[in-house]
């Protein structure tokens, strides 16, 4: 009988070659050399919570470097790096106080394709634009988040650069510092992943009777390792795999907040209910085993809401009734801009010009700012520090 088995390998190879081609294209010097986004002075002032005048004054008196020279009568705007410097000089950093606990957010749902990696990467870049120090940890061997950061997990990342050497049965690393990679964003770091991270799951299955104690050791290790790293960040975002395995469990335990993305569809709703009930059972078992889990917040977010689809509105209503205030009121809208950006291995926050129409782009970004701002507010809720400089301070200072 004819068998098509050999075809599988060929398909994989052809696919890999295509991914590499896409990645190279995304990284052609003219299409992506580091980070291109720029912010006009009005936008910068709005982000800092001050007046444009305050920025201009600081540029005039030398506290800030002179504004970027204009080209063809238009100023190119400030880079993320310049924006961060501006925050430092003008005392408008949103960073937590040393005693405030950094947020370690698991973006989790056992259902696949609900938008975990999309939410993780956009949340990371949203926080970065707002001036926070961010660490993203790709805990999924599918490595979508790693790809969205512009790495090819197959070619650019080795197992030794992932969580593996730290979580392996025979660990070769005692802390997680080795795994932290710089990204094009000055204030976002990444621990990448690749397919070989899945070995962590195999090892446990092979460990037989010792499985329980190995599992417990890994839980403690991931939590300890991430808590250590988190000292240098305001927000740590974890993208776990869409399944109940060692790594997912360790992530749940290492996090101090849980964000559950889901689309407004019946299958996503049903799977998410199952996920929540499974989480409930697992968390009880962990607590009974003396492994402590605590979340500052647990929220669900609708991750690809299509306002023109009546079925989405209906399912959303069902979700509101079931989850009440745990469902964040502002959903992330489904947008071609997001999927097009993903094709270029980018988030909306990395685009220096719209892919679709200017209107689509603007609407998409405004929606993301609002939706992800809800998560920022939850993170800040537990920080006991003063808000970034307000207009009032500026007036008083100038007086
Ligand atoms: N708001 C959105 N608008 C348009 N497309 C979206 C949106 N959110 C997610 N997508 C698309 O949906 C697909 C699945 O998203 P994503 O990879 O983030 O899900 P995931 O939960 O991480 O999947 P997995 O379970 O495989 O890890 C991707 O193609 C992504 O580009
Ligand atoms: Mg994913």
Which residues, other chains included, contact 265 with Cβ-Cβ below 8 Å and sequence gap of 6+? 311, 312, 315
What average pLDDT values come out for the chain (399 residues) when binned by 10 residues?
A: 78 83 65 75 94 95 87 82 96 92 96 95 98 97 92 88 94 96 95 94 77 80 96 97 89 95 94 92 87 92 95 95 96 96 92 92 97 97 64 46
Q: Whose CA is nearest to atom 2 of ligand 1?
A: 334
Kindly give the number of the ligand 1 atom that is closest to the alpha carbon of 140.
27
Residue 166 CB neighbour total at 10 angstroms: 21
Alpha-carbon distance of 360 to 151, in angstroms, equals: 28
| Ligand 1 site, residue 58, Cβ cutoff 6 A | no
Q: What is the pLDDT of residue 31?
A: 45
What is the predicted pLDDT for the residue at 26?
65
pLDDT of the residue at 32: 46
Distance between Cα 143 and ligand 2 center (Å): 7
Residue 138, H or E segment = strand 134-138
Q: Are 300 and 349 in contact (CB under 8 A)?
A: no
pTM of the full structure:
0.90
Name the residue among 209, 298, 280 with its Cα closest to residue 244: 280
Q: Ligand 1: distance of its center to the CA of 113 in Å?
A: 5
Q: Cα(121) to centroid of ligand 1, in Å?
A: 11
CA-based nearest residue to 258, from 283, 230, 281: 283
* Whether the CB of 339 sits within 6 Å of ligand 1: yes
pLDDT computed for residue 27 by the predictor = 61
In this structure, what token pair is assigned to residue 28?
């052609």
Give the end-to-end CA distance of the chain in Å, rounded to a whole number.
88
Alpha carbon separation from 44 to 39, 206, 296 (Å, rounded):
6, 54, 31
Q: Is the CB of 165 under 6 A from ligand 1?
A: no
**Residue 1 has what pLDDT?**
58
């Amino acid at each position: 009988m004819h068998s098509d088995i050999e075809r599988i390998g060929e398909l994989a190879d052809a696919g890999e070659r295509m991914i590499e081609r896409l990645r190279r294209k995304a990284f052609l010097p003219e299409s992506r050399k580091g980070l291109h986004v720029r912010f006009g002075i009005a936008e910068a002032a709005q982000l800092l919570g001050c007046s444009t005048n305050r920025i201009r004054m600081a540029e005039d008196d030398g506290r800030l470097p002179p504004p970027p020279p204009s080209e063809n009568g238009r100023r190119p705007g400030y880079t993320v790096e310049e924006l961060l410097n501006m925050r430092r000089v003008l005392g408008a950093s949103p960073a937590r106080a040393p005693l405030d606990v950094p947020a370690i957010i698991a973006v989790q749902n056992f259902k696949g394709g609900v938008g975990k990696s999309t939410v993780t990467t956009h949340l990371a870049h949203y926080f970065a634009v707002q001036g926070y120090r961010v660490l993203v940890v790709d805990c999924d061997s599918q490595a979508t988040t790693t790809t969205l950061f512009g790495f090819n997990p197959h070619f650019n990342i080795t197992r030794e650069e992932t969580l593996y050497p730290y979580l392996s049965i025979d660990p070769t690393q005692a802390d997680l510092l080795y795994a932290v990679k710089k990204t094009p964003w000055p204030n976002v770091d990444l621990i990448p992943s690749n397919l070989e991270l899945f070995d962590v799951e195999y090892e446990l299955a092979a460990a037989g009777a010792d499985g329980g104690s190995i599992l417990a050791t890994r839980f403690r290790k991931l939590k300890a390792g991430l808590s250590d790293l988190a000292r240098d960040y305001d927000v740590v975002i974890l993208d776990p795999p869409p399944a109940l395995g060692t790594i997912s469990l360790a992530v749940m335990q290492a996090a101090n907040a849980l964000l559950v993305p889901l689309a407004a569809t019946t299958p996503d709703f049903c799977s998410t209910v199952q996920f929540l009930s499974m989480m409930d059972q697992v968390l009880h078992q962990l607590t009974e085993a003396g492994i402590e889990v605590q979340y500052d917040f647990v929220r669900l977010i609708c991750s690809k809401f299509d306002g023109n689809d009546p079925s989405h509105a209906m399912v959303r209503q069902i979700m509101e009734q079931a989850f009440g205030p745990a469902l964040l009121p502002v959903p992330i809208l489904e947008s071609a801009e997001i999927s097009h950006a993903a094709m270029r291995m980018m988030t909306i926050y990395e685009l220096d010009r719209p892919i679709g129409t200017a209107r689509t782009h603007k609407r998409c970004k405004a929606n993301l700012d609002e939706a992800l701002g809800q998560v920022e507010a939850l993170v800040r809720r537990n920080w006991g520090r003063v808000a970034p400089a307000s207009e009032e301070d500026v007036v008083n200072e100038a007086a």
